[in-house]
């Protein structure tokens, strides 16, 4: 079996006495889509942020493509070019238009030529369906459009893997669909991705593996069919059941 | 013809309807009408006296005080001494150099508010940042074709412009570094920056100027002698940097953590993150406060008189004691006031333009492009 693209070995993180991550181990194969889910405060976002070094941890090891994630600034920067991240609140650069948001990192960090970066950037905006909005500032775009620009921005560095931190939690239902469509398209084209989300339908549809976390631990990691239909965990059945039942009567 | 026939009556009708609205408003608000009339009358009285003193009964050409009409302003004093007020004791044959140093900043400001053309931002940015160096070199001379002129002879508006602009331009990068250090995650850096800022901000500028001229030479290597002008300029620069650093820090505090994380996640290092993501946003959000500081600084340059430099104000005040022109303080101070006000108003207009620009399309993106 080939080496996983992202390997987490026995990762632990504490905030003071509070154990945010408790000996987490996780493997993400190249070209696969892993969905992290679980209740709020379960540590799924923290785990995701460890994967590109946005969070530090106390014990264990994370490696991307066989290279351990070190916290030395220079190594971290190299790693981050290989792992793209999409945030819940988009975090677009508000002073730059959509195209410049996408091309800034390739130009400044990747030292690509402006024309070349802009060509690639336009292709990416086209891929997320926003070629016509290239010169608009983030403030003039809807939430869904902003998040799609953020996805294009993350793709512009040609990362080996993409991390999504609740990419649709700040969006209205219509925008959720347009963003999920883009993510599904990426998953189908074989992009390696780890997605923290509460969208269970999406998880079932695209995930190769669903990881359920609670209180800093992985409760279950399995394929979607097993996870949604045949799980033996009461905790997960409870979680899924609450979601299904909410507001239904 | 057809257009005139079409528009003529409609304009007249619009005017008539406006006047009608005014009359209706006046009738509906009698107290406002009264206040308006009183204010108009007061403005007329004040304005009439100013125009009468400053223009109608003023004398512009005379050889000395006795040639001036006693009922009006004696601008002849200012006219006769204008070269000195503008250029200090700069040699007459070399005054074009001083003139260039005086006119460059307003020219750059005009360029800054001019309509966009290719390379405009680059020219403005380069002009402002190179001004201290180029103006000093031009005024000091010492090159073939540019005879050396001692700083003792620089003065008037030339000196004011040189000190004000140079102190601002030199203190700006220092202020950014101080603000970054003060918001750094390294405690030692924070402490040093906070100490520097509190030290310079806590002293009166007059004290700083005296200390710079007396104490800074003690820190210079033996044998090196710096002119008083440079020492005073160094003091004002530190003073201004301390104030500006706090303004910039205010801007930095407005930048959310998400911006740092987004830039970090894309692989930006510290300086490129600051240069392309954080500072363009932070500085733009504090443009009014920066211009406010620049205007205050420009006026504070008048304090250089305490170390014996003849800036615009000091040289005019010195001229007041001339026996031929005794008793013309009003004219002197009004002249100084008008010049300061004009320059500060220009800065304020420039600021307004930048603020409007902030709402337009991608100025920082263009600046970032120009920088690379």
pLDDT tens digits, one per residue of A37-55? 999 889 999 999 999 888 8
**Beta-carbon separation of A137 and B362 below 8 A:** yes
Q: Which residues in chain B touch residue A110, judged by CB atoms under 8 angstroms apart?
A: 267
**Beta-carbon separation of A95 and B364 below 8 A:** yes
**Beta-carbon separation of B281 and A109 below 8 A:** no
Give the gyration radius of chain A's Cα atoms. 18
Q: Which residues in chain A touch residue B361, judged by CB atoms under 8 angstroms apart?
A: 97, 135, 137
pLDDT of residue B371: 34
Instruction: Please indicate whether residue B277 or residue B24 has the higher confidence score (pLDDT).
Output: B277
pLDDT over 90 (residue B208): yes
Q: Name the helix (H) or strand (E) containing A192.
A: strand A192-196
The β-bridge partners of A18 are: A15
Nearest to B102 by CA among B118, B120, B82: B82
**Beta-carbon separation of B368 and A104 below 8 A:** yes
pLDDT of residue A71: 75
**Mean pLDDT value of segment B192-204:** 96
Contacts 24+ apart (CB under 8 A), B92-97: B94/B141, B94/B146, B94/B147, B94/B149, B97/B138, B97/B139, B97/B141, B97/B146, B97/B149
- Out of A105, A135, A137, the one facing B267 most closely (by C-beta) is A105
B363-371 and B120-140 are packed helices; what angle lies between their axes, rounded to 10 degrees? 60
Task: Pick left, alpha or beta for residue B29 (phi over 0 → left; psi -120 to 50 → alpha; otherwise beta).
Answer: beta
Which residues, in sequence order, are CB contacts of B86 under 8 Å at separation 6+?
B98, B99, B102, B156, B157, B158
Q: Which residues of B touch chain A, with CB atoms under 8 Å apart? A: 256, 258-259, 261-270, 272, 276-277, 280-281, 284, 361-362, 364-365, 368-369, 372
pLDDT bracket for residue A239 (50, 70, 90): confident
**Beta-carbon separation of A97 and B361 below 8 A:** yes
pLDDT over 70 (residue B359): no
pLDDT of residue A246: 63
**Mean pLDDT value of segment B258-277:** 95
**Mean pLDDT value of segment B215-228:** 86
**Shortest CA gap B265–chain A (Å):** 5
- Out of A52, A96, A157, the one facing B362 most closely (by C-beta) is A96
Model pLDDT for residues A169-212, shown as the tens digit of each residue: 999 999 999 999 999 999 999 999 999 999 999 999 999 999 99
**Largest Cα–Cα distance of chain A, in whole Å?**
58
pLDDT bracket for residue B363 (50, 70, 90): very low
**Mean pLDDT value of segment B176-187:** 96
Residue A16, both tokens: 């003071």
pLDDT over 70 (residue A151): yes
Size of interface A-B (CB pairs under 8 A): 84
pLDDT over 90 (residue A72): no
Q: Does A12 touch chain B (CB under 8 A)?
A: no
Nearest to B172 by CA among B280, B248, B253, B286: B248
**Beta-carbon separation of B365 and A95 below 8 A:** yes
**Beta-carbon separation of B372 and A92 below 8 A:** no
Model pLDDT for residues B56-76, shown as the tens digit of each residue: 999 999 888 888 888 899 999
Q: Does A52 touch chain B (CB under 8 A)?
A: yes
Residue B208, both tokens: 């700083």
pLDDT of residue B80: 92
What does chain B come to in residues?
372
**Shortest CA gap B166–chain A (Å):** 29
pLDDT of residue A17: 87
Q: CB–CB of A21/A12 below 8 Å?
A: yes
Q: Which residues in chain A touch residue B287, judged by CB atoms under 8 angstroms apart?
A: none
Helix (H, G, I), strand (E, B) or coil at A68: strand
Nearest to B289 by CA among B334, B253, B337: B253
pLDDT of residue B357: 61
Q: Which of A146-150, B24-28, B187-191 has the least mean pLDDT?
A: B24-28
Distances (CA, A) of B111 to A71, B10, B100, B123: 47, 40, 16, 9
**Shortest CA gap B259–chain A (Å):** 6
**Beta-carbon separation of B264 and A157 below 8 A:** no
Question: In percent, how much of chain A has pLDDT > 70?
Answer: 96
Q: What is the mean pLDDT of chain A?
A: 91
**Mean pLDDT value of segment A69-86:** 85
Q: CB–CB of B87/B155 below 8 Å?
A: yes
């Amino acid at each position: 079996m080939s080496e996983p693209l992202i390997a987490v070995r026995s990762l632990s993180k504490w905030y003071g006495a509070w154990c945010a991550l408790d000996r987490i181990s996780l493997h993400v194969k190249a070209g696969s889509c892993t969905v992290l889910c679980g209740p709020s405060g379960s540590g799924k976002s923290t785990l995701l942020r460890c994967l590109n070094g946005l969070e530090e941890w106390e014990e264990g090891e994370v490696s991307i493509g066989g290279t351990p994630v070190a916290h030395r600034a220079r190594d971290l920067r190299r790693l981050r070019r290989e792992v793209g991240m999409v945030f819940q609140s988009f975090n677009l650069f508000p002073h730059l238009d959509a195209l410049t948001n996408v091309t800034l990192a390739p130009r400044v960090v990747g030292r690509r030529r402006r024309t070349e970066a802009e060509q690639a950037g336009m292709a990416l905006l086209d891929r997320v369906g926003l070629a016509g909005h290239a010169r608009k500032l983030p403030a003039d775009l809807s939430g869904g459009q902003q998040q799609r620009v953020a996805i294009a921005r993350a793709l512009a560095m040609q990362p080996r893997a993409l991390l999504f931190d609740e990419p649709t939690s700040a969006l209205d239902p219509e925008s959720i669909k347009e963003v999920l469509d883009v993510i599904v398209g990426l998953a189908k084209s074989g992009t390696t991705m780890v997605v923290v989300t509460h969208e269970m339908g999406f998880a079932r549809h695209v995930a190769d593996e669903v990881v359920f976390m609670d209180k800093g631990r992985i409760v279950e990691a399995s394929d979607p069919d097993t996870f949604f239909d045949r799980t033996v965990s009461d905790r997960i059945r409870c979680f899924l059941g609450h979601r299904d039942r909410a507001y239904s009567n | 013809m057809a257009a005139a026939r079409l528009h003529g009556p409609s304009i007249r009708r619009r005017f008539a309807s406006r006047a009608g609205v005014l009359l209706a408003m006046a009738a509906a608000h009698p107290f406002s009408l009264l206040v308006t009339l009183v204010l108009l009358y007061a403005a007329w009285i004040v304005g009439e006296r100013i125009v009468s003193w400053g223009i109608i009964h003023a004398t512009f050409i005379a050889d000395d005080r006795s040639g001036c009409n006693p009922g009006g302003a004696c601008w002849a004093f200012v006219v006769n001494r204008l070269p000195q007020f503008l250029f200090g004791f700069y040699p007459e044959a070399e005054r074009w150099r001083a003139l260039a140093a005086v006119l460059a900043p307003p020219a750059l400001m005009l360029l800054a508010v001019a309509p966009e053309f290719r390379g405009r931002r680059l020219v403005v940015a380069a002009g402002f940042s190179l001004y201290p160096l180029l103006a000093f070199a031009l005024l000091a001379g010492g090159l073939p074709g540019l005879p050396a002129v001692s700083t003792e002879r620089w003065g008037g508006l030339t000196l004011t412009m040189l000190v004000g602009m140079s102190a601002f331009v030199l203190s700006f990068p220092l202020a950014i570094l101080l603000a970054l250090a003060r918001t750094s995650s390294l405690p030692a850096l924070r402490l040093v920056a906070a100490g520097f800022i509190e030290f310079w901000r806590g002293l009166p500028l007059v004290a700083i100027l005296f200390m710079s001229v007396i104490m800074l030479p003690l820190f210079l290597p033996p044998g090196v002698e710096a002119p008083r002008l440079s020492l005073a300029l160094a003091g004002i620069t530190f003073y201004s940097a301390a104030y500006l650093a706090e303004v910039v820090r205010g801007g930095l505090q407005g930048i959310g953590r998400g911006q740092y994380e987004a830039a970090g996640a894309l692989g930006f290092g510290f300086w490129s993150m600051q240069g392309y993501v954080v500072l363009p946003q932070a500085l733009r959000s504090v443009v009014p406060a920066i211009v406010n500081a620049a205007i205050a600084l420009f006026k504070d340059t008048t304090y250089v008189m305490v170390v014996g430099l003849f800036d615009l104000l000091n040289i005019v005040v010195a001229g007041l004691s001339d026996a031929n022109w005794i008793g013309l303080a009003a004219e002197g101070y009004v002249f100084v006031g008008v010049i300061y006000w004009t320059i500060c108003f220009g800065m304020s207009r420039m600021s307004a333009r930048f603020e409007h620009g902030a709402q337009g399309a991608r100025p920082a993106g263009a600046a970032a492009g120009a920088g690379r």
